[in-house]
Chain A
Amino acid sequence: MILTADEKAMLKGAEGEAVRRALHYQRQVGQFFGAQRMVPITNAHMMGDIEVLGDAGLAFLEEMRILGARARIPITTNARCIDFDWAERLGQDSGECAKERKVIATLQAMDIMTTDTCINYQTLYQPHLGERVAWGDTGTCIYANSVFGARTNFESGPAALAASVTGRVPDYGYQLDRHRRGTFLVDASRATLPDLADWGAMGRLIGEHRQNYYAVPVITGIARAPLADELKHLGCALASYGSMAMFHMPGVTPEAPSVEAACGGTVPRGQPLVVDDAAIEAVYRGYPTGDGAARLVVFSGPQLSLFEIRQLAAMFDGRRVASGSSVFLTSGNGVLSAARKLGYLKPLEEAGVAVLEGVCFYILQNLSQMREANGWRTLVSNSAKIVNIIGAHRFHTVLRRTAICVEVACTGRLPEHAA
């Protein structure tokens, strides 16, 4: 790996021990992937909450802070595992809550902006074509690469932190032109995609078809201009089921003026993967529904936009969450503040929906214990990502369209044969 004079000095400790360690770590990662150099970045986004950090991660952060780690570019944080206003009601552990406060204080002491949102790309920062950033979670990465044409790899917490401390990332993967070309075609011309869940279901079908970080689907035949929330659910599902970091949509995404351009001039041979209405209906039918009882409905993972909350507010208006059922909605502070001001939260809260701030449902501290204490078995959501990602907590999950989710919330039952 060829380093600049500045980088060589950093590795010798010229900018302190925290910078030396961060760059040393980044160089090891870069060497694994055969990176030739480091490249400067403008923005970072990191995951760091006590549920995933554990005591070892918190100790690591505290050590970095004491060693003098400071972000030299703006860095924001992803959703966390505790909304302190809800912790007691949800039976979350007070010791872990105290540690989470310590995490937040430690991050802030390193000049990290604790924004606690996984939809930074909708609410905080929109990088331009070719701009290099260091983002995680995966939903933020695939949106940055695909919709903005910015450049990022999946940067996990320690990697994004290191990137903010050095202002650089190793030049590999999606930083390089050669990995950004489409590798297979998807024909979605017979998919109607009326609901956000359909976009997630499409993401599942494409993601499971090629589970590979370097697979880049080129999705053709989308009949109308997709909305940001639709691309969000598509991207999150592609990343979740396929570990994918980029897609092209000719005529929609900036590096795909045409199918040929998206593929770097040579269109991949072979039949395209067909995603049509029948395939999407089959996704819905594929979730076992058991005896039909469904006592938990979740609108989260990714956090909701103001537009999604407005839609749910209208759907829950005048209705009540079924007795014995729980319904959760999560978003970031910015979106929820606006939703409160615009009156969208009132009908949701009156219906009995729990509105949580700065968290994502699947990472909630104590979730397995919460599931047992509440007797939750089946989790219904319109997010294809969350029904996939929450598996280790032993939920039985069902993907359904938004209106059905609201129906389940208010009746406690899954309607038969309906998506």
Chain B
Amino acid sequence: MGMAFHCAETGVRQPAPILTIAVERGFGPVVEGEALVSEEGFSPRYDLDRWSGLITKPGHKLEGETIKDRICFFPTAKGGIAAGWAFNDIRAKGIAPKAFIFGVTNPVMVQGAILAGIPITEGWSPDPAGLLRTGDWVRVDPERRVIEVLRRGGEA
């Protein structure tokens, strides 16, 4: 969010997005950050160490990755009722992601994200699988219902 305002104030033009993904539903302010792209669903209870922010479930496709300050793309939500409190907890501990982007989610993720004030969206077109990689820099605009890929990982 800060970055977008900065650009407007200084007159620096934002480059055109490399890719725009439409989302169906969204909550929260505009945020920008590094994408963490998962092929596998997510649950803070099943998969996440809620003290370090690392995905620790043995065999999870993102095992060892951190969600902290990233924009997390998950195709589905797994489980579980825990997210309702857990997102608020990880935000207070300083290990929350900047946003949750779900293909299909469940109400718990939404209830949890809204309580914690973390932007969340559901539904995507096109499916980012194969188009978006971990490390890409993206901007999420829940109100406009779009996600823009601004640059590829590793680029300045």
A residues near B (Cβ < 8 Å) are: 25, 28-29, 32-34, 47-48, 52-57, 60, 78, 136-138, 153-159, 172-173, 211-214, 239-241, 243, 245, 362, 368, 388-392, 394, 396
Contacts and interface: CB of A to CB of B under 8 A. Distances in A.
A391 B84 contact: no
A158 B50 CA distance: 18
A55 B111 CA distance: 19
Nearest to B110: A32
A138 B88 CA distance: 19
21 contacts: A29-B107, A29-B110, A33-B25, A54-B89, A56-B93, A60-B115, A136-B108, A156-B84, A157-B84, A158-B88, A159-B108, A211-B76, A243-B76, A388-B79, A389-B80, A390-B46, A391-B46, A392-B57, A394-B56, A394-B58, A396-B58
Main secondary structure of the interface of A (DSSP, over half): helix
Given A56-B92, A155-B111, A156-B111, A391 B82 contact: no
Given A48-B85, A394-B58, A54 B106 contact: no
Contacts of A32: 25-27, 110, 114, 120, 122
Contact of B91 (A56, A239, A394): A56
Given A391-B58, A394-B56, A394-B58, A33 B107 contact: yes
Contacts of B104: 211-214
B89 A389 contact: no
A232 B84 CA distance: 23
Nearest to B89: A54
Interface in B14-34: 25-27
Nearest to A159: B111
B36 interface: no
B150 interface: no
Given A25-B114, A211-B41, A240-B79, A154 B108 contact: yes
Contact of A392 (B48, B92, B107): B48
Contact of B85 (A54, A138, A368, A394): A54
Contacts of B122: 32
Contacts of B108: 136, 138, 154, 156, 159
Contacts of B48: 392
Contact of A29 (B26, B43, B45, B111): B111
A224 to B, nearest CB: 30
Contacts of B107: 29, 33, 153-156, 159, 172-173, 213
Q: Give the 9 A-B CB pairs with smallest separation, nearest first.
A: A156-B84, A54-B89, A56-B92, A391-B57, A213-B106, A136-B81, A159-B111, A137-B81, A156-B108
B47 interface: yes
A57 B60 CA distance: 27
Contacts of A214: 104
Contacts of A211: 41, 76, 78, 104
Contacts of B45: 52, 362, 389, 392
B85 A156 contact: yes
A52 B79 CA distance: 14
Contact of A138 (B41, B56, B80, B110): B80
Interface in B25-74: 25-27, 41, 43, 45-50, 56-58, 60
A389 B78 CA distance: 9
A136 B57 contact: no
